[in-house]
Amino acid sequence: MSDDFMQVLIAGTRLVVPIVKDKKTTFELAAKLSERLKALEEAADRIDTQAFALRAAFDFAAEAFLDSAESREEETQLIRRLDAIRDRLKALNAGLEKL
């Protein structure tokens, strides 16, 4: 996140938030949060703005955690594949040195 801030509209409320990556991304995040809050409100049998906000925050935190875990797993798999390629190249090199 940036040290710069900008104004966005989230669920009908104007907020000043830190810029995430760039202004376009920040607007997209605000829109996504507004959509999530609206969906929660429509699914609820009573209005509880604080609960909706907390649920939306939790959903975003869960998505970030799962994305991060998935990225770590992909990184681990990539490292394993690169290690296998390195080992194969070493074996090929050793075979060439014997010639």
Per residue in 50-66, pLDDT tens? 888 888 888 888 888 88
Mapped onto helix, strand or coil, the DSSP state of residue 86 is: helix
Cα–Cα dist 52/66, whole Å:
21
Number of domains in the chain: 1
What gap in Å lies between CA 23 and CA 43, rounded to an integer?
Answer: 30
pTM check: above 0.75 = no
Note the residue count of the chain. 99
Residue type, 60: F
Residue-range definition of the domain harbouring residue 18 = 5-98
- For the chain, give the mean pLDDT: 89
Cα–Cα dist 33/5, whole Å: 17
Residue with tokens 């959509």: 35
Token pair 């906000």 is found at 53
Whole-angstrom Cα distance, residue 51 to residue 40?
Answer: 9
Q: Is the pLDDT of residue 82 over 70?
A: yes
